[in-house]
């Protein structure tokens, strides 16, 4: 909802879509059936199902894993048969409802990426609405996004209920300390730099400033 978000909304609008609000799917965590992942070297050789984004694929290749892109239905069969070792997805929206503990015994909480979502309407459809209807649709969209974000954070924000449930169902839950996270950051710095140039240094810098501002406010609130 800050400057970077508004810039992205403008880009979306230029593509013929009217963005209404931001939602989120949650932080993406990595699970696998082989071993705990505590350091970059633990990724070596793991065959992981990832989203077919070149950024995601580059991250996992850099960490030594073997990323494969496949649809979710095929992935679940591959997990059960043991032909794919693991995957990366948010806890509340994917790992829990799909009961991935049935095939994945290890999860590492590293928050390497968050899934932002945009709820939008095609400009042609939007323009067919009158001002009153546009206001109603926008209000409904904003309420929906607020509800969706709350659901994605359920049991994670200010609580450990979601991850406690994973442990209860037999998963070994590994939470990385700051120094361990730093090792992953350093290992993938080249990917971050390359794609930062592709996406746009100015947009990345603006997003980083806003993240730092929110993080600072969060720390102040805890005092």
Per DSSP, the residues of 159-219 read: --HHHHHHHHTT-EEEE--HHHHHHHHHHTHHHHHHHHHHH-HHHHHHHHHHHHHHHHHHH
Q: Confirm if 53 and 73 have CB atoms less than 8 A apart.
A: no
Region 111-117 average pLDDT? 92
Rounded Cα distance between 144 and 136, Å, is 12
Residue 120 has pLDDT above 90, yes or no: yes
Q: Are 43 and 64 in contact (CB under 8 A)?
A: yes
Using pLDDT thresholds of 50, 70 and 90, give the confidence band for residue 87: very high
Q: Give me the chain's average pLDDT, please.
A: 94
pTM: 0.90
pLDDT tier at 222, thresholds 50, 70, 90: low
Assign 185 a pLDDT band (cuts: 50, 70, 90): very high
Position 223 scores a pLDDT of 66
Bridge partners, residue 32, by sequence: 86, 106
Q: In this predicted structure, what is the pLDDT of residue 182?
A: 96
- In sequence order, the β-bridge partners of residue 90 are 28
Q: CATH number for 3-212: choose from 3.30.70.270, 3.40.190.170, 3.40.50.920, 3.40.50.620.
A: 3.40.190.170
Taking 70 as the threshold, does the pLDDT of residue 221 lie above it? no
pLDDT the model gives residue 217 = 80
**Comparing 156 with 97, which gets the higher pLDDT?**
97
Distance CA 153, CA 148 (A): 9
């Amino acid at each position: 909802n800050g400057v970077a978000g508004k810039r992205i909304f403008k880009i979306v609008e230029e593509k013929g879509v009217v963005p209404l609000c931001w939602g989120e799917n949650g932080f993406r965590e990595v699970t696998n059936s082989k071993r705990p992942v505590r350091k970059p070297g633990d990724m070596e050789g793991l065959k992981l199902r990832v989203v077919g984004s070149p950024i995601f694929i580059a991250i996992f290749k850099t960490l030594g894993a073997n990323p494969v892109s496949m649809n979710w239905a095929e992935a679940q069969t591959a997990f059960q048969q043991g032909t794919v070792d693991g995957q990366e997805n948010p806890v509340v929206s994917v790992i829990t409802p799909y009961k991935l503990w049935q095939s994945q015994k290890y999860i590492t909480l590293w928050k390497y990426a968050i899934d932002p979502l945009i709820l939008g309407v095609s400009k042609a459809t939007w323009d067919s609405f009158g001002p009153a209807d546009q206001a109603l649709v926008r209000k409904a969209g904003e309420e929906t996004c607020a509800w969706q974000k709350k659901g994605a954070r359920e049991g994670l924000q200010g609580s450990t209920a979601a991850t406690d449930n994973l442990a209860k169902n037999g998963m070994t839950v590994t939470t990385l300390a700051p120094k361990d996270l730093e090792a992953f950051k350093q290992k993938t710095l080249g990917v971050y730099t390359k794609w930062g140039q592709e996406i746009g240094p100015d947009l990345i810098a603006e997003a980083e400033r806003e993240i730092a501002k929110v993080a600072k406010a969060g720390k102040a609130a805890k005092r």
